[in-house]
Amino acid sequence: MARPGVLDEIAALDPVADHERIVFLTTCYEFPFDITRALEFALFRTYCVPSISALLARTGEFEARPQKRYDDTDIIISEILEHGHTSPRGRRAIARMNQIHGRFAISNEDFLYVLSTFVFEPIRWIDRFGWRRLSDAERFAMFHFWRKVGQAMNIADIPDGYDAFERFNHAYEREHFRFKETNRRIGAATVALFAGWFPRLFAPLVRRSVYALLDDPLIEAFGFPRASPFMRWAVPGLVRLRSRLAGLLPQRRVARMRSEMTRPSYPEGHTIERLGPP
């Protein structure tokens, strides 16, 4: 059951005109943990596309500096989500993202797919693991928010409707997901990064837990070992249990702002224009 206050405010807002405010409330008050995990897995999902993983492998950033690559991406996305794409900080983050991407030949279709994962993976994650399901206003606000970001990134042919964009997302994955060695390399480097956040003793368990959260097309495209039936039951169950307990807590009074956090790569704070590779 939703906590009073935030969802009442969301219900009174328009998902088109007020999409920045709705996304802020959902991200920073209702589901800060879930949105973060969902976006991690959204990016993880894009590494199953050989054209994307091959580009990432060529840059060498994932394998040489995985924590910095994670911090840079997380900060840029957090700046946009938390401050809004029309805010000065949001516009600076989008400009920096465009500068970084502008160095590489990336197809519009690949850009469009990555954008679609930012819309739909948080929705799917919260529907699967959240302490409540998202409201229609939150779903449509997420779509309109990222559609505007995509336009600011000069991505062409973004579908006008939520359903059409979701159909594109599914069709793209059916057509493009397939195993390639660069998928495995980038995926393995990312799993190693996640495992590195815990004591070394727990690294094998972390890796198996990640595999347990991946669906079959991802396992096959990465060439990862399939998790045991027990892990595929236990790990999602533990994530749901965490959410149920979180749902019993009082409403968050202070926004959870990842853009204000100190990061391993930036112990003294970050400057948006200096994020990314040199």
Find the mean pLDDT for residues 104-126.
95
Identify the band that residue 102 occupies on the pLDDT scale cut at 50, 70 and 90: confident
Identify the band that residue 273 occupies on the pLDDT scale cut at 50, 70 and 90: very high
Residue 104 has pLDDT above 90, yes or no: no
Percent of the chain beyond pLDDT 90?
82
**Structure tokens belonging to residue 122:** 């948080």
Residue pLDDT, tens place only, 164-198:
999 999 999 999 999 999 999 999 999 999 999 99
Side chain identity at residue 145, one-letter code: F
The answer to whether 119 touches 142, Cβ cutoff 8 Å, is yes
Domain ranges, ordered by start, for the chain: 14-248
Residue pLDDT, tens place only, 205-229:
999 999 999 999 999 999 999 999 9
CB-based burial, 146-159: b 16+ in 10 Å, e otherwise: bbbbbebbebeebb
Whole-number pLDDT of residue 3? 61
Identify the band that residue 89 occupies on the pLDDT scale cut at 50, 70 and 90: very high
Q: Is 174 helix (H, G, I), strand (E, B) or coil?
A: helix
Residue pLDDT, tens place only, 2-31:
566 788 899 999 999 999 999 999 999 999
In this structure, of 89-98, 133-142, 220-229, 244-253, the range with the lowest mean pLDDT score is 244-253
Helices (H), ranges, the chain: 6-11, 19-25, 32-46, 50-59, 61-64, 66-83, 88-101, 108-129, 136-152, 162-176, 181-196, 203-213, 216-222, 229-247
Residue pLDDT, tens place only, 224-246:
999 999 999 999 999 999 999 99
pTM of the full structure: 0.93
Whole-number pLDDT of residue 4? 62
Residue 1 has pLDDT above 60, yes or no: no
